[in-house]
Structure 1
Amino acid sequence: MEIALIKLFTLMLSANVLKGLIYLYDSWVRLDGEGTGRSIRLIITSAILIIVIRNFHRHLRIFVHYAVITTILHIYYRAFNQDVGMDVVAIQAIFMVIISSFYAIGRKWGTFYSGIAVICFIAVEIIPFRVHVLQALPSNLNNIYILINWIVIILSHHYFHKILFDSLNNSQEMTMQNIFLAESRSKFLATISHEIRTPLNSLIGISNLLKIDQNDKNQSELLKTLQISSKTLLSLINNVLDLNKLEAGQVQIEQTNFRIAPLIQQITSQMRYKANSKGISMQASIQPQLDNLTVKGDPTRLTQIVTNLLDNAIKFTHKGNVTISVCEIERSSYYVLLDFEISDSGIGMTQQQQQTIFNPFEQADASVNRKYGGTGLGLSIVDQLLKMMNSQIFVSSKLGEGTRMSFKLPFAIVSEAEEIPVIESHPINVEVQQLKILLAEDNDLNIFYMKHLFAQWEISADIAANGMEVISLIKGNDYDVILMDISMPIMNGIETAIEIRKMDDINKSNVFIIALTASNSPDIIHQAMGAGINELITKPFEPNILINKLGELSGIFGSKSKFN
């Protein structure tokens, strides 16, 4: 833009030099030297301004104001001159004022200066005052003068038209690049997620199996430490993916029925071991009237918010306690407003530190990262999720005296008629052992883990390493359930599901397919559902989630003749 402005005003001032020469020629030839001084001043001042503008770019806007003001004065000078008036040249000068002021110094000044220039049309009709100091040029010279002005006007539009469309093209290119980069980042994160979650599934799963069979107290403690470390790594990749989804606008707040008190108690129970391992007590205070309260909201995101806040409180607390309290602020027959508060007796923060803790990848200061670790993503995710729920987080903290974080959330109250009955876990139904299961998995560690898990449940299963093997096995066998990884070589899980659903044998094409996937990408989930996959379980998964699902399916398939 600056280069175009310099070109524009160099052009206009050069045109002034030419017009000054025209006036100088006319004054010598026709007027016996009258007006020579005015012509020479125009030539000299225009030449000086060209030199100044091209060498002092920082003051370009000042020069623009000067040029616009002098052009407006020239318009009025011509309009109120007895021998000239509001002619074509004055109208051209108005065009130049509009172009220069809007393009060079912005909409506000453009409107101001353009208004003053245009008012001349009305002023010259109302005010009778006239001067006699400017002689009109003869028609041949006047036509050259007008032609020079039109050339300036056309070239000025040419400059700024080019800038405008170059900017639009650049903007479109940048948009396309940003879209490409966003897609590339999402694909990269999805790949990283898969590559990390896949070994974590076997790592966490095998440590669970070992802990069950472990009688040695010391080794049991080591296995617990291994589990915590594994889940910390899982939490990290989950936070990175969640932040990416939030920034891409891919997170939606769901509305499902759940009970507040059991959810908070479950979260507290899960976090208590981590707190106790540091010698910190973990307490939950929930008002009694909330014990049987069923509300409509997003329990997954609420769990994420509370877990991140509790994890943060535990991290920065060395002694004392961490407390979560939930209390009712107000209630009507269909609505309840709840206050959630997480407090700790930890290291606390200064006012300055509190200003940065919700920024992605930032912590209170550099020493915090060195001493306590972490990425600074948890609180940023909390902040963004609460904003999506039309809420915000409040922080109260003093250095060395602990921290209190709180937020308020409204929920719709679910009536007893709408409540979903709570399904409790039961011992494994004997029919689960009779399910004909095909496991499609290419990762050796996960195959090893799943074999041991099936052995614990007394389930036998066939194994396929890719989609082609799945198709081959299913043609020769009738399966009740296929547990299938999405990312497999030769033929992936989605392609395999599509081929299964195309089979002519209805017993084979209608087999229940559960995807055990390390990817939680919305695109993958959408593709999986579109391919006919019945359900997805994300790796790493809790064994009880899978066994409960198999137990549910065993009840469905239990009426089949082969089980009778």
Structure 2
Amino acid sequence: MNRDVGFFNFSVNKILTKDQSTLDQARIRLLYYGLWLAIIAVGAVLINLYVEHREILTFSTSVLLLSLVILFKYLTFRPRWGIISHIMLVLATMVNLTNVFITLQNVDIITAQITFLIIVFSFYMLGQTCGLFYSLVNLIPILIFLVLMFNSSYVIGLKPKVVDESTKIISICASFIFIIFVQNYFYRAFIKNIRQLKVTAEERGSLNVELEKVLEKAEKSSQAKSEFLSTMSHEIRTPMNAVIGMTNLLMMGNPRPDQKDNLEILKFSANNLLALVNDVLDFNKIESGKVVFENIKFNLVELMQNVCGGQRLKAEEKGLNFILEIDNNLRNKDVFGDPTRLSQIIFNLISNGIKFTHNGTVWVKVNQLENRHNTITVDFSVKDTGIGIERENLNAIFEPFTQESITTTRQYGGTGLGLAIVKRLLELQNLRMSVQSQPGKGSEFSFNMEFPVSTESAAEPVSNQPVVLRAIESMGTPRVLIAEDNMVNVMLMKKLFSKWNIVPTIAENGERAIEMVQYGNFDIILMDLQMPVLNGFDAAVEIRKLADPKKANIPIIALTASALFDIRERVFGSGMNDYVSKPFKPDELREKMQSLLSAAIQN
């Protein structure tokens, strides 16, 4: 309601506001003009009764007129239409039943009109429930009165009053006018509301069209962003592949101690640069909701030992103590989950602990909290004696591209994405990170994770590498086809394969790779995905269509520097058997080649 309305306001426009619905505004207008009509009609009846010297009727009509004036003033000062409607209906009911049982002791056309008016007004103004209530309150007593009159059993001590014809005519005309006014006004309000609904529907339709355009534009923008990241990833990873690959080759060639130190620095810097690129791409993947968690069986103890193995060396190089404590209850248990994402979380937490600790210890603790037969709850904790975090900065460290302070960023470097990635990965699994820290004393990051437990007995890990090697040796030197358009990468691959006593065949694009497979014999194909003439995806599809079953089923490993989120699905969808991301680790590539070649021999 409008609080600026003064007591002496008589305008209906000042008591209407934009917050009120169309129906409420119509109800307020109906009360406003209806009270005017009622005051005029009751005033005319009062004058006529006064002239005819009907004292009792004159008094009761005066009270009714005064009540209507007070209600009108209350409406123009505080438009509480609900309260006013109830008061008017109570007054009308009292007048109606008083006329029937006391004053007139009769049911005539005026009574019928007032009853009908009460029914219509109560339904329009107050809704179905109140409409039924006021209708029954008026109809039931009138019906009882008619039954009593029919049996000639209604007798009270008061003599009924006689109303002259002029008063009846005025009352009947006023009732008819009021009934017509109510029906006409609400019909207009109903039609207006229908039209507004139509306009609203049309506007909503237009908004939906605009929303679809905006969503389409956002989708295209997201797709363009993904393609840009893929392109930039490819452009960055391709030279990085050469830098890291050549560094690995040089280190495999027994360099002098001084050369080895330089190569270690080169490798460390290249890996740091690659880690920064991977952090940005991985965070973008998480924010886009493209992360899908695996549910595979793995040994938690082995996973933690593998993750902490490299980090232990890194800590010891910095002069730190590194302690890994694993609950003995976890030793012989295999669990189901996503080992890759769990490794990523633990790796980031340990890396942070080592980075921000100058001297002291980094602890990694893994404890079993609950064991519910087929499910266990494990507490992971990474604690350090590093620089610590101020209490007011505890929330900020989990924001992307943010560290505790600008000084921290300048002194320790990094993108500030490590903890942001950890937090997002945990949140996607409905988990929460707990942080305890004291500036100058260190920090502890911990979280609980639930794992289904494998019911099979945990077997001792047995390496299948000797079997694989024997399988490869039994078939001689494998014939390898490499589809790669980048000459630096070609040179790198040749040098790498020479270390394994393999001379690969090179195809400069996908189309050339298909021709070589058709007219040559190969045991395995390494397929770059982004090549001129024909890309790796299409080339793999065409190879799978070859008539010769042996050639159509040749193992294909994708070599990709792309960061597209659906790369895994596209690789397997095109018929390739596996993929390795550039820059790849030589051991990883060799292991996957051996696995596929061994499977091909067994088949």
Q: TM-score range by the shorter chain?
A: 0.7 to 0.9
Distance 2:37 2:126 in 1: 22
Structure 1 match to 2:196: 159
Letter in 2 for 1:142: I
Stretch deviating more after TM superposition (364-373 or 458-467): 364-373
Alignment deviations for residues 229-264 of structure 1 (CA, whole Å, 9 cap, x no partner): 433443344444444444454433323232222322
> Retained in 1: the 8 A contact 2:320–2:361?
yes
Deviation at 1:324, TM superposition (A): 1.0
Are residues 1:150 and 2:190 paired?
Answer: no
Superposition deviation, residue 501 in structure 1: 1.4
Q: Deviations over 1:311-336 (max 9, x none)?
A: 22123222222121223345476554
Alpha-carbon separation, structure 1, partners of 2:287 and 2:224: 15
Classify the secondary structure of the residue corresponding to 1:496.
helix
User: Deviation digits for residues 90-129 of structure 1, max 9, x if unmatched?
Assistant: 545644556xxxxxxxxxxxxxxx866765455556899x
Report % sequence identity.
30
Q: What is the correspondence of 1:404-443 to structure 2 with a 5 Å cutoff?
A: 404-414=444-454, 419=459, 421-423=461-463, 425=465, 430=473, 434-443=477-486
Residue 310 of structure 1: CA displacement?
0.8
Partners of 2:357 and 2:386 within 8 A in 1: yes
- Which has the higher Rg, Structure 1 or Structure 2? 2
- Measured in 1, the distance between the counterparts of 2:383 and 2:533 equals 52
| 2:351 alignment partner in structure 1 | 311
Q: Secondary structure at the match of 2:551?
A: helix
Q: In the superposition, relative to structure 1, how do residues 5 and 140 fare at CA in structure 2: closer, same or farther (>3 Å)? A: closer
Does residue 399 (structure 1) correspond to residue 413 (structure 2)? The answer is: no
Letter in 2 for 1:514: I
Q: Are 1:235 and 2:272 matched, yes or no? A: no
How many residues are paired up? 526
Shift of 1:344: 0.4
Aligned to 1:56: none
Question: Which moved further from structure 2: 24-33 or 304-313?
Answer: 24-33
Secondary structure of the equivalent of 1:283?
A: strand
Between 1:28-37 and 1:149-158, the stretch displaced more is 28-37
Q: Which amino acid aligns with 1:323?
A: W
Task: Report Cα offsets for 1:291-317 as digits up to 9, x if no partner.
Answer: 554333321121011011112212322
Question: In the TM superposition, what is the alpha-carbon distance from 1:504 to its structure 2 partner?
Answer: 1.6
TM-score norm. by structure 1 comes to 0.77
AA in 2 matched with 1:69: I
Q: Which moved more, 1:226-235 or 1:540-549?
A: 226-235
Question: What letter is aligned with 1:227?
Answer: K
* Cα contact 2:423–2:432 (8 A) shared by 1: yes
Residue deviations 1:143-192 (CA, integer Å, cap 9, x gap): 13321122123423543565477458746854774475356425523541
Q: What does residue range 360-509 of structure 1 map to in structure 2 within 5 Å?
A: 360-365=400-405, 367-389=407-429, 391-414=431-454, 419=459, 421-423=461-463, 425=465, 430=473, 434-509=477-552
| 2:241 alignment partner in structure 1 | 201
Q: RMSD of aligned C-alpha atoms?
A: 4.2
Shift in Å, 1:483:
1.0
CA gap of 1:526–1:400, structure 2 versus 1, over 3 A, is same
Q: Shift of the alpha carbon at 1:510?
A: 1.7
Question: Is 1:512 aligned to residue 555 of structure 2?
Answer: yes
The answer to whether residue 365 in structure 2 is matched with residue 328 in structure 1 is no
Q: CA distance change for structure 1 residues 220 and 42 in 2, over 3 Å: closer, same or farther?
A: farther
For the 8 Å contact 1:257–1:420, the answer to whether it is kept is no
Residue of structure 2 in register with 1:281 after alignment: 321
* Contact 2:243/2:270 (<8 A) preserved: yes
Match of 1:256 in 2: 296
1 CA distance for matches of 2:137 and 2:264? 89
Partner of 1:139: 176
User: What is the aligned counterpart of 1:185 among 214, 222, 228?
Assistant: 222
Gaps of 5+ in 2: 1-16, 49-61, 97-110, 143-169
Check conservation: 2:435, 2:444, Cα contact below 8 A.
yes
In structure 2, the CA distance between the partners of 1:177 and 1:308, relative to structure 1 (3 Å rule), is farther
Change (3 A) 1:342 1:417: closer
Which amino acid in the other structure matches residue 334 of structure 2?
T
TM-score (norm 2): 0.73
Unaligned runs of at least 5 residues, structure 1: 50-62, 99-113, 129-133
Rounded Cα–Cα distance in structure 2 between residues aligned with 1:316 and 1:469: 51
In the alignment, which residue of structure 2 is the partner of 1:53? none
The code of the aligned residue for 2:185 comes to I
> Are the structure 2 counterparts of residues 150 and 501 from structure 1 closer, same or farther at C-alpha, using a change threshold of 3 Å?
same
CA distance in 2, matches of 1:369, 1:127: 86
Distance 1:202 1:254, change over 3 A: same
Cα deviation 1:254-292 (Å, max 9, x = unaligned): 232322223222211222344345443333223456455
Residues 43, 503 of structure 1: CA spacing in aligned structure 2 closer, same or farther, 3 A cutoff? same
